[in-house]
Copies of this chain bind each other. A is one copy, B any other.
Amino acid sequence: MNAQNIYDDPDFQAGYVTLDRQVRGLDGASEWPVLRSLLPDLEGRRVVDLGCGFGWFSRWADEHHAASVLGLDLSTKMLDRARTDTASATVEYRRSDLDVLDLDPGSAEVVFSSLTLHYVQHLDRLLETIALSLTPGGSLVFSVEHPILSAPSIQGFETSATGDRFWKLDNYLVEGERVRTWFVDGVVKQHRTVATYVNSVVGSGLTIERLVEWGPTAVDVEVRPELADDLHRPWFLLLAALKPGNQHR
């Protein structure tokens, strides 16, 4: 296991469990309705959940769509709770380092990953593994921190002399590690450009179906003015891709 396992750090966990999306699950994740809209029909499908965490998505796919789910995560603490919270024989959780993962070829119709791939060091290797694991017509749907969010040396907004707010963007084209403070110091994420995500997916043999740069809409900001800054840069990059071949849908 060569990947960082910050998720088993007690101080990190103490903060992490307070996040709305960990308290309320999928309904606490603002991007979930859009991410869900990118998914194919999951009914009775074999689904792999990369970075399953507490198993929110794995359970949802099982309970709502009778999918057979394999949830993978590096954190034993998260897997322990996922197992405790899941009462289904068709969901299996397994400890796994995505940087050295192997999956059986043709073993899944859907591979899903929420906010995990920006921790992976060897993205091309993982995408090749994913592409091989999918049956023809199968889908990959994932979200990551948006590269505009992950790029800067110091993340934040600033106000100009004229009162305009803007996101301080630097080093967008400089890919590599970014070390952040998020509940604890030393959280390591991999910054990649949008083009790198797209080209890595294409390079794995999958076909890009849809890209979403997720943030609030102008209507969202009318209802919740405190979101105004979030029109300046997206939070998440969502991507849906297909393995060429017969369609499942």
Contact = CB atoms under 8 A, between A and B. Distances in A.
A166 to B, nearest CB: 4
Given A194-B211, A199-B210, A211-B195, A170 B174 contact: no
Q: Contact residue range for chain A?
A: 35 or more
B210 A172 contact: no
Nearest to A147: B213
Given A148-B148, A153-B164, A154-B164, A172 B233 contact: yes
Nearest to A217: B173
Interface string A215-243: 11110000000000011111000000000
Contacts of A168: 160, 166-169
A165 interface: yes
A232 B231 CA distance: 20
A80 interface: no
Interface in A50-93: none
B173 A234 contact: yes
Given A198-B198, A202-B208, A210-B202, A169 B171 contact: no
A212 interface: yes
Contacts of A216: 173
Say how many copies of this protein the assembly contains. Answer: 2
B148 A218 contact: no
A209 interface: yes
A222 to B, nearest CB: 13
A208 to B, nearest CB: 4
Nearest to A151: B232
A127 to B, nearest CB: 15
Interface string A170-207: 11111000000000000000000111001100100001
A154 B174 CA distance: 24
A152 interface: yes
A241 to B, nearest CB: 10
26 contacts: A148-B169, A158-B158, A164-B170, A166-B168, A166-B170, A167-B169, A167-B172, A170-B231, A170-B232, A172-B231, A172-B232, A173-B213, A173-B215, A173-B216, A173-B231, A173-B233, A173-B234, A193-B213, A194-B211, A194-B213, A195-B213, A198-B198, A199-B210, A202-B209, A202-B210, A207-B208
